[in-house]
Amino acid sequence: MLLGVLGGYLLRRVEWVKRLIPHSTTLTILILLLIMGFEIGGNSAVMRNMLRLGGEAVVIAVAATFGSIVAARIIYRVAFKRKEGRNG
C-alpha cells in the first residue's frame, strides 16, 4: 500500500494515469468479486448453509438500516430543536 501511495503521489500530475485510475479500480473490484464468488461457490460448507447465512445477512441489514434511520431522526430532532431554541 505504501508503494501505491508513493506511486500515486509521484504520478499525480500525469494525465493518462489520472484517466486510467477510475477504470482500473472498477475492473479490479469486479475481478475480486468474481474470485470471491468462485471461493464461495467452491466451499461446500458455505453452500450447504447458504439459506441460513443469507437469512442472517438480511436480518443484520434490516436491523442496521432501522438503527441508522432511528439514529438519524434523533440527531435531526436534537439539531433542529437547538437551532429553533436559539432563534426564538
pLDDT in tens, 10-52: 998 999 988 888 889 999 999 999 999 999 999 999 899 988 9
Largest Cα–Cα distance of the chain, in whole Å?
64
39 and 5 assigned to the same domain: yes
Residues of the domain holding 85? 49-88
Q: Across the chain, what does the average pLDDT equal?
A: 89
The sign of the dihedral angle between the CA atoms of 31, 37, 43, 45 is positive
1 and 40 assigned to the same domain: yes
31 and 66 assigned to the same domain: no
Does the pLDDT of residue 88 top 60, yes or no? no
What pTM, to 2 d.p., does this model score? 0.51
36 and 60 assigned to the same domain: no
7 and 31 assigned to the same domain: yes
Q: What is the count of structural domains for the chain?
A: 2
